[in-house]
Amino acid sequence: MSFDAAKTLLLIIDVQNDFCPGGTLAVEGADSIIQPINKLALSLAEKGGRIAATQDWHPAGHISFASSHKDCAAGEMIDTSLVKGQVLWPCHCVQGTSGAAFHKDLALEKVSMIIRKGFRKELDSYSAFFENDRQTPTGLEGWIRSLGIETVIMSGLATDYCVFFSAMDCKKLGFNTIVASDAVRGVGIPEGSVEAAVTSMKSSGIEFISGNYV
């Protein structure tokens, strides 16, 4: 597969302390994706590509936190007024906290856009393109269209949530969509969700690559 690096965006999804070992919603092996992401970012930037990062950015008492609901535990699913089937999570990525900060080893120099999502108390956002009502845009689509981006490479956390929803939206929007397999990790809640996400991404025509491909 070939793509024009100058028309390619690397999207670094939610590489934040709360999703890394020691965080409140730690993804196993999350720290092992940082070097592959940094390498990709540096080589893509050298070839004229663009780099954007997302940050999960919730207000305290966010609707996706189990602690915001009476008698609910993390891992349960509820229906909210805006979203059917909202998974409840431990409190994570609260705006301005160290848990919401990027991992200290993530190379941010080449990042020219940071999209913060999930900042509305009553609405969660997994995808970097649309919030979980599946309608409210984050602005990423407009930004990359105005730059003439044709290909988006997905990296970061988590394969079965934010990476999955971002990649599926990206493909639906008509961009050539690639997941960098060695630069993503999943949470696996509920069990099997990573495998299910990979299967549906592949059957939607999303490509998977690994190694030194930029």
Active-site residues, by number, are: 14, 117, 162
56 binds Zn ion (CB under 5 A): yes
- What tokens does 162 get? 């934010």
Total number of residues shown for the chain: 214
Question: 3-state DSSP call for residue 149?
Answer: coil
Partner whose footprint covers residue 131, from Zn ion, ligand VGL, none (CB < 5 to 8 Å by kind)? none
Residues touching ligand VGL: how many (CB under 6 A)? 9
Question: 3-state DSSP call for residue 3?
Answer: coil
8-state DSSP, 72: -
Partner whose footprint covers residue 158, from ligand VGL, Zn ion, none (CB < 5 to 8 Å by kind)? ligand VGL
Residue from the set 89, 102, 130, 175 that interacts with ligand VGL by CB under 6 A? 89
169 binds ligand VGL (CB under 6 A): no
Give least dist CB 39 to ligand VGL, A. 21
Contact between 41 and 33 under an 8 Å Cβ cutoff? The reply is no
Rounded Cα distance, 95 and 2, in Å = 39
57 binds ligand VGL (CB under 6 A): no
Contact between 150 and 176 under an 8 Å Cβ cutoff? The reply is yes
Contact between 210 and 181 under an 8 Å Cβ cutoff? The reply is yes
Rounded Cα distance, 183 and 179, in Å = 8
Give least dist CB 1 to ligand VGL, A. 26
Give least dist CB 33 to ligand VGL, A. 13
Residue from the set 158, 167, 170, 184 that interacts with ligand VGL by CB under 6 A? 158
- Residue 164 sits at the vertex; the CA angle it makes with 168 and 189, to the nearest 5 degrees, is 145
161 binds ligand VGL (CB under 6 A): yes
Which residues of the chain form contacts with ligand VGL (CB under 6 A)? 14, 19, 56, 89, 126, 157-158, 161-162
Which residues of the chain form contacts with Zn ion (CB under 5 A)? 56
